[in-house]
């Protein structure tokens, strides 16, 4: 009397088994549709927070554009971001966390040169490529590629290339001879001193003094008094974030009229320039300026302003292009595993929105053009472009 019921249960069980079996290939195939993770280590706290936010915004805009156009290999890019606070130790923690929790196919970072240098051995051990788009310390490129770390790629010029470009401009377009250095006491600031010293060799330019400041310094009055007595022809400024802005504000309040040069981030100093904190005749060398007038940059600026309600700066531009470079490498590789991406990055030949081609030398460093900016009448304008 139980046989019909038994046969019915068998039929149901067999049917479920067939249904589950039929679904299994679809589940396996869906793994190929998982997003490709790009991990980012950036300073989202501390004195470089604004710059870190711009890095994140630039990467976000590029990712959204790529995903809207169909993604990469038919898959979405997914950004995972960790704060490094511009601290080497926290940077190592941030990348270790990204690698263990999110299994990124590729990493970006870390903005602050000291942090990037600390990450290099980490990514080499983990064998995950790191695309460096903002840090400029020469030691990064020296250690990449034939320097021993095949997993690091630098899409922007180093301190030395930018210093050489600035010196060529100053020699041809100014009467400046004596330069004082004011820099943060980091790999970025110390690297700037070495780069300027090397670039000055055999020229009329001379570094007459060098002063370094801990990040987070609040009072620069002693340095400003010293500069007013030394009377150099220009002050080469190498600081980042709020430290740089604070120095420039105090420079203006002290009535300093000596032109600033070096790498002041004029893209974030509109008010300081208008208020006279950056004297007329000041110059800067940077890989990007929002005012570059061509269709590609104009489209980028328009899209960035529409989404974030402000102009892009160097950090947002470089992060934007870095994501595009990564996406192009994944497409060339035809795969999203770290080793395939690393191999494809070597052959990068990317057309920048500023014009020119981004490609890597044997140290995995790109040599983009340098833009010379000059302050005149309370406004910033492009004074020239130099190779790096």
Angle, CA of 388, 160 and 282, to the nearest 5°: 85
Give the 3-state DSSP-derived string for 305-316, with helices as H, strands as E and coil as C.
HHHHCCCCCHHH
Query: What is the per-residue pLDDT for 31?
Result: 54
Long-range pairs of 326-331 with CB within 8 A, sequence gap ≥ 24: 326/38, 326/106, 326/108, 326/131, 327/62, 327/66, 327/72, 327/77, 330/36, 330/72, 330/73, 330/105, 330/106, 331/72, 331/73
Q: CA distances (Å), 187 to each of 60, 117, 343, in order?
A: 28, 9, 29
Q: Which two tokens stand for residue 135?
A: 């840090």
pLDDT of residue 377: 85
Check residue 358 and give its pLDDT.
97
- Does the predicted model carry a pTM greater than 0.75? yes
pLDDT tens, N- to C-terminus, the chain (388 residues): 434 444 443 443 444 343 434 444 444 434 578 999 999 999 999 999 999 999 999 999 999 999 999 999 999 999 999 999 999 999 999 999 999 999 999 999 999 999 999 999 999 999 999 999 999 999 999 999 999 999 999 999 999 999 999 999 999 999 999 999 999 999 999 999 999 999 999 999 999 999 999 999 999 999 999 999 999 999 999 999 999 999 999 999 999 999 999 999 988 888 778 677 899 999 999 999 999 999 999 999 999 999 999 999 999 999 999 999 999 999 999 999 999 999 999 999 999 999 999 999 999 999 988 999 999 988 999 999 998 8
Q: What is the pLDDT at residue 286?
A: 93
In whole angstroms, give the CA distance from residue 356 to residue 352: 6
Domains annotated on the chain, with CATH: 34-157+293-355 (3.40.50.2300), 160-286+371-386 (3.40.50.2300)
Classify residue 366 by burial, with Cβ atoms within 10 Å: 0-12, 13-18, 19+.
Answer: buried
Q: Which residues contact 14 (CB under 8 A, 6 or more apart)?
A: none
């Amino acid at each position: 009397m139980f046989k019909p019921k038994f046969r019915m249960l068998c039929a149901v069980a067999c049917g479920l088994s067939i249904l589950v079996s039929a679904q299994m290939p679809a589940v396996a195939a869906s793994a190929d549709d998982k997003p490709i993770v790009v991990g980012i280590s950036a300073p989202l706290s501390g004195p470089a927070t604004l710059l870190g936010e711009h890095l994140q915004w630039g990467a976000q805009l590029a990712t959204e554009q790529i995903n809207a156009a169909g993604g990469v290999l038919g898959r979405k890019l997914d950004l995972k971001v960790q704060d490094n606070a511009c601290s080497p130790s926290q940077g190592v923690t941030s990348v270790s966390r990204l690698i263990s929790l999110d299994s990124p196919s590729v990493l970006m970072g870390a903005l602050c040169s000291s942090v990037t240098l600390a990450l290099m051995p980490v990514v080499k051990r983990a064998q995950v490529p790191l695309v460096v788009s903002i840090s400029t310390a020469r030691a990064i490129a020296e250690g990449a590629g034939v320097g021993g770390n095949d997993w690091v790629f630098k899409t922007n010029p180093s301190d030395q290339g930018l210093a050489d470009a600035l010196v060529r401009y100053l020699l041809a377009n100014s009467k400046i001879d004596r330069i004082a250095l004011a820099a943060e006491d980091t790999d970025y600031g110390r690297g700037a001193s070495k780069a300027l010293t090397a670039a000055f060799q055999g020229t009329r330019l001379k570094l007459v003094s060098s002063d370094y400041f801990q990040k987070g310094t609040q009072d620069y009055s002693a340095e400003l008094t010293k500069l007013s007595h030394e009377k150099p022809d220009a002050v080469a400024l190498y600081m980042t974030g709020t430290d740089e802005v604070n120095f420039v504000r105090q420079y203006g309040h002290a009535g300093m009229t000596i032109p600033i040069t070096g790498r002041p981030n004029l893209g974030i100093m509109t008010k300081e320039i208008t208020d006279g904190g950056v004297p007329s005749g000041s110059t800067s060398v940077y890989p990007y300026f929002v005012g570059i007038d061509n269709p590609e940059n104009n489209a980028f600026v328009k899209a960035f302003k529409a989404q974030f309600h402000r102009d892009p700066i160097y950090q947002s531009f470089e992060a934007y292009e870095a994501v595009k470079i990564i996406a192009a490498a994944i497409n060339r590789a035809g795969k999203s595993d770290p080793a395939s991406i690393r191999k494809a990055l070597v052959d990068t030949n990317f057309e920048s929105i500023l014009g020119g081609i981004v490609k890597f030398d044997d140290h995995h460093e790109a040599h983009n053009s340098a833009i010379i900016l000059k302050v005149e009448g309370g406004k910033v304008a492009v004074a020239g472009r130099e190779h790096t």
